[in-house]
Structure 1
Amino acid sequence: MTSSALPRPGLRDDPDPCRTVPLPLREQADVRDRWLSQRLLDLLPGLMDRAGIDLWVVVAREYNEDPVLPTLLPATWLSARRRTILLFHRSDDGVTAAAVSRYPVGQFLPAWEADEQPGLSPAQSQWAAVRRFADQAAPRTIGIDVSAVFAHADGLSATEHRLLLAALGPHAEKVVPAQDLVVGWLETRLPEEIAVLHAMNRLAHQVIDEAYSPAVLTVGRTTALDVAWWIRQRFADLGVDGWFQPTVGLQRAGVPLNDERGTVLPGVPYDAVIEPGDLVHCDVGLSTLGLTTDTQRNGYVLRPGETGPPPGLAAAVTVGNRMQDLTTAALRPGRTGDEVLAAARAAAAAEGIDGDVYSHPVGVHGHGAGPAIGLWDQQDGVPGAGAAEVHPDTVWALELCVRVPVPEWGGQLVRMALEQGIALTAAGVEYLDGRQTELILIPPG
């Protein structure tokens, strides 16, 4: 079962290259640098105003990067170089982006020459340039990347924190956490980015369809673990990265869930051979162009003579779709993640649906910065991340499950888990390349 023997799907049939993935690396760099310019011009001023920050300071050393740093660097910069310091000053004219760095940083204004102050070491001279910039900017607030809630916004190391406060001198009393700014920067998407995420989700769906096809899956011989590794290899062969190890799990008549919620380990081992009558579930995510996806889809292995799944399994998908509808109806800007969770669960309970919601932002990171709408083991709210507010122009992994008895399986509970990328804009919620409404049918052989 080698991916090199399989046909490459038609991935470059869209005339707009920004809507087609994967792209060659050079084209990716052009797209990412264009996005960065547009984000700095169009998004950052409003995000700094919303967070109440006049000067944002991002500091990182090579091999100890702040999680937000790669989203601010040119595409040809794969990491910080030596010590890289980026300064963003909000003024009436917009945002001035400057770099206090030994090497030129793309479109950033150079704010330091290493030998500009004889007698000072390069490190001393670099920090002196930061102080000089702060003196000239005279900010009321200075945002730094420290956060007890979001790891994405907690990237300032202890050493750099200490050196920065010392360099700022009297400006140090103006320092505030930049958590809200970092989260806003990471979660907010341009329309062009949402268009690409449509294409990325389409690619994920294509790979899943391929993985569930006879070209990959031989019923009675292929294991769930085989399929998981095939998906990861397929992503690598296509030129995209997987941001986590794919998982493929089975549910089977006569093998009940390990617990009543079905949230620990499946009753069928991951290395079990896939058999007729199995419900096959996968969880996969890919990364390219600095963005990620997170997707779960389900297939059914037909028994000999069957032309479709048992009605009870088909009905479970419909119940899962209804749970999606109730969750997206609750997903409104201005609400907190905990409020969305409570509203969705209350609506589900009113309809007699037994399910859990554990949706999350997805974009730069798979488990992205922004409001948590439940965790699989925290259905009453998520301290910290659940208190964050929902904003428009964000992208989510609509992740949830429902538990439904299947009459054809003797009333056995099936956990139907669905995960689908969605975009929340002023126009409402849109599914990225559509959602699953029917089980993918896998022939018995």
Structure 2
Amino acid sequence: MIKEEFRVAHEKLAAAAELLGEHGIDAWLILNREASDPSLPLLIGTTSIHEAAVVLREDGGHLILASESDRGNFENTGLFAEVIPYGQNFEEALRGLMDRLAPAKLALNFSLTDHLCDGLTVGQYQLLEEAIGKDRLRAIEVSSEPLLKEIRSIKTPAELERIQQAVTLTQEIFQEVAAEIRCGMTEREIGERFVEGMKARGVTNGIDHPFDPPLVCIVRAGLAHRKPGNTAVEPGDILILDMSVKYRDYCSDVARTLYVLRPGETEPPADVRHAFDTAVTAITAAIESIAPGKRGYEVDAAGRSAIEAGGYPTIRHSVGHQVGRQCHDGGTRLGPPSRADSDGVVKAGEVYAIEPTVIQDGGLPCMLVEENVVVTRDGARLLSKRQLELVVIPC
């Protein structure tokens, strides 16, 4: 029986075995020491202190070469067909293991572009060369990047449960904080309310330090990725709140926009409403466009063209990005053709934050609304409850 704490890892290793078969790869070797490889928490739910060699196999008979002191940690996972302890000489033990397995094609974690796929250090690579020989290694090595990107991108049922809970808790905090905002409160004070909400629910910030505040921007003070400042809310302000929450290692990424009524106003002025409606229309266009088989730049174009059709400057960032163990989780990006990974293919099971944004300079209305969706075989399913109306705050 699989322990709940290792359910994600069990699902990920099953996906790894399937992908190894599809790519015709005998074995996938992951060398690690002192948590040097970022893929291990995703793939096996833990890491090693001393030198370790994880070998993933097509038949699901995964192995690990581990020190005596790390051995119990890996046996406790229930994920490995064999946990092989070594004594003082890791290189000798690694050579023996590679001779025993004799892979014709060996996947290694190296990448020129994706740091999450580039966990093999130079020192570990040189150790592997010494263990099995440079010529032999050159003949069998391939990059694991295509496998690791797909495993990271396509979410398992257990991962989706955690992401959905992160999104749900994020929206709870938004509602709680929005009800407290009044004129005179500073960005920093609003940010502190978010931190209180995170602590009360046992979650943390998904981007920065665990209890850093989210992005809290009064538009007239500048819309940017910055810490909340001492600018206070005034009548007529547009307030943007962008929050990532981490729940059991998985993140949300949701943004909401509020308007502070001026004396005598019962609703936002026309230019503010138009900016908000344009952002919402762009999100709808992107969500309706996204589907398995689409290229990232195609989805970007749907959201981007809606912003431009509203009379606003083109978006300065991508229309969307993947969400998972990190707020910006790599893989296919919903960006223009010039952006890295925007030519990637959207696949069912991927989770995206959708955020086509109205950005203007000179204090003109800016709008950031961000929703989270999971791609299905038929299109997309919302994980967040959409913001379809501009939240208004009395002053």
TM-score by structure 1 length? 0.77
Q: Does 1:394 align with 2:350?
A: yes
CA contact (8 A) 2:349 2:376 kept: yes
Q: Distance in 1 between matches of 2:205 and 2:359?
A: 29
2:199 maps to amino acid:
A
Output one character per residue of 1:26-60: Cα deviation in whole Å (capped at 9) or x when no partner: xxx9534123223323x223333455533111111
Q: Does 1:373 align with 2:344?
A: no
Q: Distance in 2 between matches of 1:100 and 1:440?
A: 56
Output one character per residue of 1:280-339: Cα deviation in whole Å (capped at 9) or x when no partner: 101111112221111111112233444433343233222111111222233232333234
Moved more, 310-319 or 205-214: 310-319
Q: Which residue among 83, 86, 93 is the counterpart of 1:114?
A: 86
Corresponding residue for residue 61 of structure 2 = 96
Alignment of 1:118-129 (within 5 A): 121-129=88-96
Corresponding residue for residue 274 of structure 2 = 315
- Following superposition, the deviation at residue 70 of structure 1 comes to 0.7
Q: Distance in 1 between matches of 2:274 and 2:310?
A: 15
Alignment of 1:339-418 (within 5 A): 339-346=298-305, 349=308, 354-356=313-315, 357-374=318-335, 379-383=336-340, 385-403=341-359, 413-418=364-369
CA contact (8 A) 1:302 1:441 kept: yes
1:95 maps to amino acid:
G
Q: Distance in 1 between matches of 2:171 and 2:131?
A: 50
Q: Distance in 2 between matches of 1:67 and 1:185?
A: 13
- Aligned residues: CA RMSD: 2.8
2:62 maps to amino acid:
A
Q: Distance in 2 between matches of 1:85 and 1:210?
A: 47
CA contact (8 A) 2:292 2:377 kept: no
- Following superposition, the deviation at residue 373 of structure 1 comes to 2.0
Measured at CA, do residues 141 and 336 of structure 1 come closer, stay the same or move farther in structure 2, by a change above 3 Å? farther
Measured at CA, do residues 306 and 412 of structure 1 come closer, stay the same or move farther in structure 2, by a change above 3 Å? same
Output one character per residue of 1:114-133: Cα deviation in whole Å (capped at 9) or x when no partner: 24xxxxx3323432343134
Q: Which residue among 251, 275, 284 is the counterpart of 2:243?
A: 284
Q: Does 1:143 align with 2:104?
A: no
Q: What SS is found at the alignment partner of 2:97? A: helix
CA contact (8 A) 1:396 1:423 kept: yes
Corresponding residue for residue 247 of structure 1 = 215
CA contact (8 A) 2:183 2:233 kept: yes
Output one character per residue of 1:241-282: Cα deviation in whole Å (capped at 9) or x when no partner: 212241100125xx8xx7xxx66889xx83201112211101
Q: Distance in 2 between matches of 1:416 and 1:177?
A: 41
Corresponding residue for residue 52 of structure 2 = 84
Measured at CA, do residues 155 and 232 of structure 1 come closer, stay the same or move farther in structure 2, by a change above 3 Å? farther
Output one character per residue of 1:55-92: Cα deviation in whole Å (capped at 9) or x when no partner: 11111111x42111111234xx4x422122211011xx
Measured at CA, do residues 133 and 440 of structure 1 come closer, stay the same or move farther in structure 2, by a change above 3 Å? farther
Q: Which residue among 368, 373, 383 is the counterpart of 1:432?
A: 383
Q: Distance in 2 between matches of 1:223 and 1:339?
A: 40
- 5+ unaligned residues in a row in structure 1: which ranges? 1-28, 116-120, 406-410
CA contact (8 A) 1:326 1:348 kept: no
- Residue identity over aligned pairs, in percent, reads 24
Corresponding residue for residue 15 of structure 1 = none
Q: Which residue among 16, 22, 29 is the counterpart of 1:57?
A: 29
CA contact (8 A) 1:285 1:292 kept: yes
Measured at CA, do residues 212 and 32 of structure 1 come closer, stay the same or move farther in structure 2, by a change above 3 Å? same
- 5+ unaligned residues in a row in structure 2: which ranges? none
Corresponding residue for residue 374 of structure 2 = 423
Q: Distance in 2 between matches of 1:307 and 1:349?
A: 29
Corresponding residue for residue 142 of structure 2 = 176
- Following superposition, the deviation at residue 174 of structure 1 comes to 1.0
Q: Does 1:274 align with 2:233?
A: yes
CA contact (8 A) 1:292 1:364 kept: yes
Alignment of 1:28-43 (within 5 A): 30-41=3-14, 43=15
Q: Distance in 2 between matches of 1:158 and 1:224?
A: 44
Moved more, 29-38 or 205-214: 29-38
Q: Distance in 1 between matches of 2:128 and 2:151?
A: 22
Q: Does 1:230 align with 2:198?
A: no
Measured at CA, do residues 287 and 434 of structure 1 come closer, stay the same or move farther in structure 2, by a change above 3 Å? same
Q: What SS is found at the alignment partner of 2:255? A: strand
